[in-house]
Amino acid sequence: MFFRQVTDAALAQNAYLIGCQRTGEAVIVDPERDVDRYVALAAEQGFRLTAVVETHIHADYLSGARELVERHGAVAYVSAEGGPDWQFEWGQGHPGVRLLRDGDRFRVGNIGLQAVLSAGHTPEHLSFLVTDFGGGATEPMGLLSGDFIFVGDVGRPDLLESAAGLVGVMEPSARELYASLRATAALPEHLQLWPAHGAGSACGKALGAVPISVLGYERRYNGALREALEGDEEAFVAHILDGQPEPPRYFARMKRDNRVGPALLPEGRLPEPHRLAAEALAAWHPGSGPEVLLDLRGERALFMERHVPGALFAPLAGGKLPLVAGSYVEEGASLILLVNRAAEVEEAVRQLVRIGLDQVVGWIPVDEALGAQREGVDMAVSQARITAGELGVALAAQPGVVVLDVRSEEEFRTSHVLGAYHIPYTRLGARLDEVPREGPIYVHCGSGLRASFAASYLAREGREVVHVEGAFADIPAELLASSC
């Protein structure tokens, strides 16, 4: 059996290529939408991608399952569990799709997969036991756990409510997850655990950075799993729902599109944005058209010091581009990338396509963009900013100004600036109307990074904004209050 974990570092997402070396057939599990890299990897190893498996309807990226079925002739194996509201609509009646229920089995060459209902993160979620029959095994060696069990954590059960807007399903989902986790007590300890996400994903709150684990180890040291196996249901529900990170705005759109079927990439190819001349910006005004400028530089100090008016600060490195673009860019917007090097363009396009932002129309070297002029005047602007330690002086000089805290709910609950508005930066695009329009808005977070994203968005929306740089601990203590 051939086994390869294929990781997207930006979304902390894992797909799995599993091949039968005797028959040359292979399956890809939980692929992202840009499937060319999986097809190439399979071919490089001498395999044909004959099957694709989905553990559930994803919220954080667009699936590549439909692309593989329609463009490459693979057979998709997807869940029929979860009730009528949580079906893969695109797969209903499709000759290339097999609908699975708990306990169903199928083979890819001499590799056996068995579906295991693991509801809670989503109602239709399936995990898959994998057995290497070709190697002489008679019992499974691993569990493809999707968003059910991670290294160090378990899947969050709140997304249908917090991201997709289904009111009243959070607690029932947590109880369903508790029951599913307890059912894993019947599985053998030796099973390798192959999760769909690692550290940095918004699909959990304490995911580990180790790529794979063993079920017996997780039973001992995974706090959420141990609590489900050994503890009280009420305590588990309270624990698993507390402190979950606020999901990016685009998660609701991913749920919708993965259910009805992601749009196929034209001719199965990635968008190929044109290299634009800096002069193209001379006629560009923020908010005057459908284009959105994404500044992909990694150093926020450089962005704050000098940037094109209305550009969003969306670093390519560190997984921030999908979070910023997914939180602040409207569906269908045309995108222009401001890059350090031409080599960054393809990776940026891939990250954007994975969250359904396909209209990447052009790119410009950022140094050239900063040198563009309009009517003989340099277009580059700077962002007003102060340090966290200077916030007290600034507020004393301008009584009644707005302070906007873009940290998480848990951080805000622990301590916050008296009178501050609170909107997590990933939700600001959906709640912009809650931010007062008058006067300067002082935007802070825990270090200055999240606030820099929010500040660039507010500035693009025409607000007068001041970026507060530095650690929350540097804000004068007399400005702070603790929440109940």
Assigned domain for 305 exists: yes
Lowest mean pLDDT, pick from 36-50, 87-101, 361-375, 410-424: 361-375
Scanning 45-154, the segments in alpha helix (DSSP H) are 65-72
Q: Single out the residue of 334, 335, 338, 344 nearest to residue 365, CA to CA.
A: 338
Give me the residues paired with residue 81 across strands: none
Work out the pLDDT band at 204, boundaries 50, 70, 90.
Answer: confident
pLDDT at residue 166, rounded to an integer = 78
Assigned domain for 249 exists: yes
Distance CA 239, CA 156 (A): 11
**Same domain flag for 280 and 370:** yes
Predicted confidence (pLDDT) per residue in 233-279, tens digit: 999 999 999 989 899 999 999 999 999 999 999 999 999 999 999 88
Q: What is the mean pLDDT of residues 172-192?
A: 97
Predicted confidence (pLDDT) per residue in 385-408, tens digit: 999 999 999 999 988 899 999 999
Q: What is the mean pLDDT of residues 444-457?
A: 98
**Same domain flag for 358 and 411:** no
User: Structurally, how many domains does the chain consist of?
Assistant: 3
Lowest mean pLDDT, pick from 24-38, 99-113, 136-150, 374-388: 374-388
Assigned domain for 39 exists: yes
Distance CA 277, CA 289 (A): 18
pLDDT at residue 289, rounded to an integer = 59
Distance CA 224, CA 230 (A): 10
Work out the pLDDT band at 376, boundaries 50, 70, 90.
Answer: low
**Same domain flag for 473 and 438:** yes
Assigned domain for 216 exists: yes
pLDDT at residue 484, rounded to an integer = 46
Torsion, CA 184, CA 185, CA 191, CA 197, rounded to 10: 40
Structural domain span for residue 110: 2-260
| Tally of CB atoms within 10 A around 418 | 10
Predicted confidence (pLDDT) per residue in 317-359, tens digit: 999 999 999 999 999 999 999 999 999 999 999 999 999 999 9
Give me the residues paired with residue 97 across strands: 76
Distance CA 190, CA 59 (A): 30
Among 334, 359, 378, the domain boundary falls at 378
Helix (H, G, I), strand (E, B) or coil at 437: coil
Alpha carbon distances (Å) from 173 to 32, 222, 441:
25, 20, 38
Looking up residue 79, the CATH number of its domain turns out to be 3.60.15.10
**Same domain flag for 284 and 177:** no
pLDDT at residue 281, rounded to an integer = 83
* 39 Cβ contact partners less than 8 Å away, ≥ 6 residues apart: 49, 72
Distance CA 159, CA 463 (A): 30
Looking up residue 274, the CATH number of its domain turns out to be 3.40.250.10
Q: What is the mean pLDDT of residues 294-323?
A: 96
Assigned domain for 180 exists: yes
Which tokens hold the place of 262? Answer: 């992601």
Distance CA 231, CA 362 (A): 54
Lowest mean pLDDT, pick from 79-88, 90-99, 369-378: 369-378
Q: What is the mean pLDDT of residues 284-296?
A: 77
**Same domain flag for 13 and 137:** yes
pLDDT at residue 288, rounded to an integer = 56
Assigned domain for 469 exists: yes
Which tokens hold the place of 333? Answer: 């917007």
Residues in the chain: 484
Distance CA 299, CA 239 (A): 36
* 79 Cβ contact partners less than 8 Å away, ≥ 6 residues apart: 54, 55, 56, 86, 88, 99, 100, 101, 115, 124, 125, 126
Work out the pLDDT band at 122, boundaries 50, 70, 90.
Answer: very high
Specify the DSSP element, H or E, that contains 227. helix 223-230
Specify the DSSP element, H or E, that contains 117. strand 111-117
**204, 239 contact by CB (below 8 A):** no
Among 378, 413, 436, the domain boundary falls at 378
Predicted confidence (pLDDT) per residue in 75-92, tens digit: 999 999 999 989 999 999
| Tally of CB atoms within 10 A around 253 | 19
Among 332, 361, 378, the domain boundary falls at 378
**Same domain flag for 300 and 442:** no
pLDDT at residue 165, rounded to an integer = 78
**Same domain flag for 246 and 338:** no
Distance CA 153, CA 74 (A): 32
**Same domain flag for 130 and 146:** yes
Beta strand 480-481 with 25-29: parallel, antiparallel or unpaired? Answer: unpaired
Taking 50 as the threshold, does the pLDDT of residue 141 lie above it? yes
**Same domain flag for 278 and 422:** no
Assigned domain for 94 exists: yes
Distance CA 359, CA 344 (A): 17
Helix (H, G, I), strand (E, B) or coil at 288: coil
Check the CA dihedral 272-354-248-304 and report its sign. Answer: negative
Q: What is the mean pLDDT of residues 147-156?
A: 97
Assigned domain for 265 exists: no
Q: What is the mean pLDDT of residues 465-472?
A: 98
Q: What is the mean pLDDT of residues 174-197?
A: 98
pLDDT at residue 286, rounded to an integer = 63
**Same domain flag for 119 and 234:** yes
Taking 70 as the threshold, does the pLDDT of residue 144 lie above it? yes
pLDDT at residue 439, rounded to an integer = 82
**Same domain flag for 393 and 322:** no
Query: To the nearest whole number, what is the mean pLDDT of the chain?
Result: 94
Q: What is the mean pLDDT of residues 170-178?
A: 96
**Same domain flag for 195 and 282:** no
